[in-house]
């Protein structure tokens, strides 16, 4: 199994809990601090201004949550073991076939209409032992760096364009080893690099009933690449050293409508077609199609539903002037290229607090 992090369905450097509940179909809707990573044109609809002291997103696979078992002390030992590559190997030995996935984002930022800046911290890991005779496989990535995003609106907001630039520092490791042997990872086993990357976004919103919107989002718009500062070395745990994976250069298309269904309620429906130019042509075409919907009451209470990677997503949320909360679940495809091979069910909690 060639573990990766799904750059077709999840091309963003930082994901949104709200978006993932909507099948990650969000580039025509995004109107919050996630705009720099989904579609910077969305900054044109941000309200209110916030300095986000916390913007936290934690998610994990169902397998990751249920692996620790036994007595109370065994459970907590297993839960803390999941934090490390070696600790996860020990847990997976008793849970053959499971996939231990986790993602943790921290995104302190200042976001207002037309402008946002902040600092990205994002860690992902994905580990598995597929069968009794399979090796232990792992993928780990840590991204960090400052970013800045701006938006320009024209013709009363009918046309919005935006851009985001980030100085991205990446550290990652892909490897495998015998499932019965202790894994020893050293710092020079990691691939490391840094570079400047930019995203671009466009949104056209028609001032008519149902508010139809059409969007394009360009990730790594100018095809930047990392300045590699450390290549992974050949070891027993990394028999085929994988070079640093570049930030994907893709284009996504979004179409949406947002009809009012009462004085206080709206329904947003959106369809995205990711990787429009087919940069990842080995990935099943159906995985490029993302579908999502959001019902909101008084712009405070939200119910969300969608489809991403061909699996159902959903969740609910709450929003006030300076606090947002989302509880979501979605399914990801374990296979790197196939369609409905094996679902990896994930759960997440996300919240931000600002002043």
Q: Which residues contact 196 (CB under 8 A, 6 or more apart)?
A: 165, 166, 167, 168, 224
Whose structure tokens read 């995985």? 287
Q: What is the rounded average pLDDT of the residues 242-262?
A: 94
Q: Render pLDDT for 53-93 as a digit per residue (tens, 0 to 9).
A: 888 999 999 998 887 655 444 444 444 445 688 889 988 99
- Of residues 255 and 88, the one with the higher pLDDT is 255
- Of residues 215 and 181, the one with the higher pLDDT is 215
pLDDT value, residue 21 = 98
pLDDT value, residue 270 = 98
* Diameter of the chain measured on Cα atoms: 64
Residue 195 has, within 13 A of its CA and on its CB side, a CA count of: 18
For residue 48, pLDDT beyond 90: no
* DSSP letter assigned to residue 234: P
For residue 319, pLDDT beyond 50: yes
DSSP-H helix ranges across 67-187: 72-81, 85-93
Residues 340, 344, 350, CA angle at the centre, nearest 5°? 130
pLDDT value, residue 54 = 82
pLDDT value, residue 301 = 97
pTM of the predicted protein model: 0.93
Do 319 and 347 meet the contact criterion of CB atoms below 8 Å apart?
no
pLDDT value, residue 339 = 92
Residues 3, 83, 197, CA angle at the centre, nearest 5°? 55
pLDDT value, residue 188 = 87
* DSSP letter assigned to residue 1: -
Q: Render pLDDT for 208-238 as a digit per residue (tens, 0 to 9).
A: 999 999 999 999 999 999 999 999 888 777 7
pLDDT value, residue 124 = 94
Closest CA to 161 of 222, 223, 217, 206: 217
pLDDT value, residue 2 = 65
pLDDT value, residue 82 = 59
Q: Render pLDDT for 115-133 as a digit per residue (tens, 0 to 9).
A: 999 999 999 999 999 999 9
Do 141 and 123 meet the contact criterion of CB atoms below 8 Å apart?
yes
Q: How far is it, in rounded angstroms, from Cα 292 to Cα 270?
A: 5
Give the CA distances from residue 186 to residues 190, 238, 253, in Å, rounded to whole numbers and listed in that order: 8, 12, 41
Q: What is the mean pLDDT of the chain?
A: 91
pLDDT value, residue 79 = 45
17-354 CATH = 2.40.160.40
């Amino acid at each position: 199994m060639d573990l990766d992090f799904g750059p077709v369905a999840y091309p963003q450097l930082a994901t949104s809990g709200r978006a993932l509940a909507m099948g990650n179909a969000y580039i025509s809707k995004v109107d919050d601090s996630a705009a720099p990573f989904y579609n910077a044109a969305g900054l044109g609809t941000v309200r209110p201004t916030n300095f986000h002291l916390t913007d936290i997103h934690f998610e994990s696979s169902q397998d990751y949550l249920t692996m620790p078992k036994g007595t109370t002390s065994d459970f907590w030992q297993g839960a803390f073991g999941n934090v490390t590559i070696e600790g996860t190997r020990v847990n997976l030995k008793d849970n053959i076939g499971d996939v231990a996935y986790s993602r943790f984002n921290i995104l302190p930022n200042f976001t207002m209409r037309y402008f946002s800046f902040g600092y990205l911290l994002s860690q992902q890991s994905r580990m598995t032992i597929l069968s009794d005779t399979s090796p232990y496989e792992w993928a780990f990535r840590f991204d960090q760096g400052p970013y800045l995003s701006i938006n320009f609106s024209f013709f009363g907001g009918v046309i919005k364009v935006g851009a985001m630039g980030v100085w991205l520092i990446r550290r990652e490791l892909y490897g495998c080893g015998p499932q019965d042997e202790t894994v020893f990872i050293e710092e020079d086993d990691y691939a490391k690099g840094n570079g400047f990357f930019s995203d671009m976004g466009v949104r056209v919103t028609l001032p008519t009933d149902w508010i139809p919107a059409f969007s394009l989002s360009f990730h790594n718009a100018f095809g930047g690449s990392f300045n590699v500062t450390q290549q992974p070395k050949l070891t027993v745990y990394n028999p085929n050293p994988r070079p640093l994976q570049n930030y994907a250069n893709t284009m996504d298309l979004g179409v949406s409508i947002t009809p009012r269904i009462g004085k206080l309620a709206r329904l947003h429906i959106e369809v995205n077609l990711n990787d429009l130019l087919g940069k990842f042509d080995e990935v099943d075409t159906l995985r490029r199609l993302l579908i999502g919907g959001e019902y909101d009451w008084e712009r405070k209470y939200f119910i969300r539903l969608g489809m991403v990677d061909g699996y159902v997503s959903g969740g609910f949320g709450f929003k006030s002037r300076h606090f947002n909360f989302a509880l979501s679940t979605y399914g990801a495809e374990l296979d790197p290229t196939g369609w409905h091979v094996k679902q990896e069910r994930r759960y997440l909690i996300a919240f931000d607090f600002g002043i």
